[in-house]
């Protein structure tokens, strides 16, 4: 069974930037990422910019990101084989 990797907020920002997300704002330690699709649809993710994120937080971000990115494309960044 794959294990969840230990990731930081900055690593997640790098991962999501590969999928076209850009930083639009930051309030405290939380960064808001957004990408705008051709039809004007805005997709937004919020990432805590911590040195290491809790496993539950990582799972929640992964599930939230699955609304916008196919699981097959995203899973390798979050889970080990």
Condensed to tens digits (0 to 9), the pLDDT of residues 27-79 reads 999 999 999 998 999 999 999 999 999 999 999 999 999 999 999 999 999 99
Please report the pLDDT score of residue 80 as a whole number.
92
| Mean predicted lDDT score pLDDT of the chain | 95
pTM more than 0.85: yes
DSSP at 2 = P
Sheet strands (E) in 2-77: 22-27, 30-36, 42-48
Q: Cα(61)–Cα(64) distance, rounded to whole angstroms?
A: 5
Sheet strands (E) in 1-81: 22-27, 30-36, 42-48
* Domain boundary assignment for the chain: 9-78
CATH architecture of 9-78: 2-Layer Sandwich (3.30)
């Amino acid at each position: 069974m794959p294990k969840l990797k230990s990731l930081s907020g900055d690593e997640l920002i790098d991962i999501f930037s590969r999928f076209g997300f850009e930083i639009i704002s930051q309030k405290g330690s939380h960064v808001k990422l957004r990408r705008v699709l051709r039809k004007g649809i805005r997709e937004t993710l919020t990432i805590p910019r911590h040195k290491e994120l809790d496993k539950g937080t990582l799972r929640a971000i992964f599930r939230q990101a699955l609304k916008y990115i196919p699981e097959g494309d995203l899973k390798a960044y979050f889970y080990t084989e």
